[in-house]
Structure 1
Amino acid sequence: MADNTFLDTIKRSSIQDLISGVRGYANEFTLEVKPEHLHEVLKTLKQEFGFNYLADITGVDHYVDEGRFEVSYNIVALEHKQRLRVSTRIEESDPSVDSVVDIWGAANWFEREVYDMFGIIFNNHPDLRRMYMPEDFEYFPLRKEFPLLGIPGSIPLPEKDPPKEYN
Structure 2
Amino acid sequence: SIVESGPDSLLVKSESWLEVATFLKTTPGLDFDYLTGITAVDYYDYFEVVYQLTSMKHNHSLVVKTRCYGRENLTLPSVVSLWRGADFQEREIYDLMGISFEGHPNLKHIVLWEGFEGYPLRKDYL
The structural deviation recorded for 1:94 is 3.5
Counterpart of 2:42 in structure 1: which amino acid?
A: D
Counterpart residue type for residue 85 of structure 1: V
2:84 to 100, 105, 109: 105
The question of 1:47 aligning with 2:26 is answered yes
CA RMSD of aligned residues (A): 1.1
What's the offset of the Cα at 1:23? 4.1
Q: Offset at 1:62?
A: 0.3
Which entry has the higher C-alpha Rg, 1 or 2?
A: 1
1:1-167 equivalences under 5 Å are 18-23=1-6, 29-48=8-27, 49-64=30-45, 68-92=46-70, 93-147=72-126
- Measure, in 2, the Cα distance between the counterparts of 1:110 and 1:56: 7
Q: Cα distance, 1:136 vs. partner?
A: 0.8
CA shift, 1:103, in A, is 0.6
Structure with higher helix content: 1
TM-score by length of 2: 0.92
- Following TM superposition, the consecutive aligned residue runs of length 4 or more in structure 1 with deviations greater than 4 angstroms are none
Q: Unpaired runs of 5+ in structure 2?
A: none
TM-score, reference length from structure 1: 0.71
Return the offset for 1:45: 0.4
Q: Percent identity?
A: 40
Secondary structure of the 1:86 match is: strand
Higher strand share: 2
Q: Which amino acid aligns with 1:61?
A: D
Runs of at least 5 residues in structure 1 that lack an aligned partner in the other structure:
1-17, 148-167
The amino acid across from 1:53 in the alignment is: Y
Which SS does the other structure have where 2:35 is aligned? strand
